[in-house]
Structure 1
Amino acid sequence: MVALPRLQTLRTRIRLAEESDAAMLLQYRVENRAHLAPWEPLRESEYYTLGHCTKTIVEGRTLASQDRGYPLIVVDPDDRRILATVTFANVVRGAFQACHLGYGVAVDVQGQGLMREILGPGIAWAFGELGVHRVMANYLPHNERSARLLASLGFEREGYAKRYLQIAGQWQDHVLTALVRPDE
């Protein structure tokens, strides 16, 4: 069984959310609704309710217990506010040993190097404790910040997918990148 991450960086703590974090998750969603909208699927109004946040956390914990996904929250050192989210999703075992990486950061802390600080230990956990061989991350072609961030972490471009995901209500192309565990 994979040990759940409880990682710490200089400015954050990274962990799986607990049901008691539902109000904090709701606050993050509401405060960053407009900021994250161009990068996410369209959200129903229910998404911005305490009940949906609780449901999301319970489902995330179930995914982790089944080794299928690890939706993590990134909180301030005092555990009072969510600063970002990081998800290691679609975990595939067998001959593939891979997952997809997704992330988002609060509008008021973007551009401060926080996501790079978070993803370093997060990816180290994925290659270590999670035991994957490959972490894949895809981004919209016009998302230059994600392009630079992923390149700085060693992700390499592997392809271009036409109309890959429905983001902000439209099927949008994505650049496909991956990082392979360096010791293999």
Structure 2
Amino acid sequence: MRSVLSMVLTGERIYLRPFEESDAEILYKLIIRNKSFWGETEPDWQEGYYTFEGQLQNIRYFQTGMGQGQFFTFGIFTKREHNLIGIINLYEVKRGPFQSGVIGYCLDKNFNGKGLGTESLRLILPFAFITLELNRLSAEVMPRNYPSIRVLEKAGFQKEGFRRDNIMIKGAWESHLQFALLKKDWA
């Protein structure tokens, strides 16, 4: 899995690549710029998360996880300006009889609604299904997060269920819709 750390997945308007330690500053700025926007759908993070040092630690954690094949975190960059505009994760990778993983993503508030979330998801699917040979990908989304639901649907994910009181966000339990995409439905 060591070669995955140098992998670049290229699309029409964006590319995905693993984070490097030199990205800590731009990752920190992305996180700060979107703190309240992303805070509507993400769990509360410790204050250390919102620091340069916290993001440098995250990048090192990402690199370790990717090197071990446990999870895969990519920055979403614009092709033209090479600006970091989001993050996409493939995590909870299970091997053996499962061959599955969970997808998560977030885009800078200024880049929502432009089809870039869908493009990033479509870029990571061949990596998940062909390179990693996974059979199933799942994703969870809050029922009121219509843009994210649309991203999943456009990429072929199907709604499978509802998870009540799934995660605490802003001090309240939030339910999620469960979506999934099978390799046989993608190919």
Q: Please give the TM-score of this superposition, normalised by the length of structure 2.
A: 0.92
Higher helix share: 2
Aligned-residue RMSD, C-alpha:
1.6
Q: Is the 2:38–2:106 contact (alpha carbons within 8 Å) kept by the matching residues of 1?
A: yes
> Which residue in the other structure is 1:141 paired with?
143
* CA distance in structure 2 between the partners assigned to 1:55 and 1:78 by the alignment: 28
Count residues in correspondence: 184
Name the SS for the 2:40 alignment partner: helix
> Which residue in the other structure is 2:11 paired with?
9
> Is it true that 1:85 corresponds to 2:93 in the alignment?
no
Q: Is the 1:134–1:181 contact (alpha carbons within 8 Å) kept by the matching residues of 2?
A: yes
Q: Percent of aligned pairs with the same residue?
A: 28
- Cα distance change, pair 94–79 in 1 and its aligned pair in 2 (3 A): farther
* CA distance in structure 1 between the partners assigned to 2:83 and 2:171 by the alignment: 29
Name the SS for the 1:68 alignment partner: coil
2:27 pairs with 22, 25, 28, which one? Answer: 25
After superposition, give the CA deviation of every residue in 1:23-60 in whole Å (9 maximum; x if it has no partner). Answer: 01001001111111101111232111110000000001
1:172 pairs with 171, 174, 184, which one? Answer: 174
Name the SS for the 2:12 alignment partner: coil
What is the identity, as a one-letter code, of the residue corresponding to 1:124?
P
Name the SS for the 1:145 alignment partner: helix
2:76 pairs with 74, 77, 82, which one? Answer: 74
> Which residue in the other structure is 2:48 paired with?
46
* CA distance in structure 1 between the partners assigned to 2:116 and 2:23 by the alignment: 21
Where in structure 1 are there 5+ consecutive unaligned residues? none
Name the SS for the 1:127 alignment partner: helix
